[in-house]
């Protein structure tokens, strides 16, 4: 995958993403808990950004946090994501964004398991699973 940033117009994003993906990735939406296709997904592989295809998370760091969204205790490559302060809805959270295309993925919290103590709470619509071969 290229390190080159993905820059598309909003109309181009609307052409390439489903309405749900657009709402989440481009408008910082969220899916309802326990409704996304990956919240209880158990296969081995990786999870890439649905906007640009950048590999962001691995099944090896996925865990069941009982929150209703896919949860990971670390990113596949921390350099592939950005963290932004989010004070929307009267809360203080840390937003997780794809570094390559700027797509909103979810939020990270400090209540995850060892070794990082992090819980990357990610919307299923913002990622695509890639099955591990072999």
Residue 101 annotated as catalytic:
no
CA dihedral 4, 9, 10, 14 (to 10 degrees): -80
Tell me which residue has tokens 């060892």. Answer: 114
Instruction: Please pick, among 49, 52, 98, 121, the residue that the annotation labels catalytic.
Output: 121
Active-site residue list? 121
């Amino acid at each position: 995958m290229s390190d080159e940033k993905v820059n598309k117009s909003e109309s181009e994003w609307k052409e390439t993403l489903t309405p749900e993906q657009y709402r989440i990735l481009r408008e910082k939406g969220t899916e309802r808990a326990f409704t996304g296709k990956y919240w209880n997904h158990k296969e081995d592989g990786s999870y890439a950004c649905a906007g640009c295809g950048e590999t962001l998370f691995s099944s090896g760091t996925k865990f069941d946090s009982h929150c209703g969204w896919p949860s990971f205790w670390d990113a596949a490559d921390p350099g592939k994501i950005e963290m932004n302060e989010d004070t929307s809805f009267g809360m203080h959270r840390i937003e997780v964004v794809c570094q390559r295309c700027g797509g909103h993925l979810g939020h990270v919290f400090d209540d995850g398991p060892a070794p990082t103590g992090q819980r990357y709470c990610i919307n299923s619509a913002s990622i695509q699973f890639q099955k591990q071969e072999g």
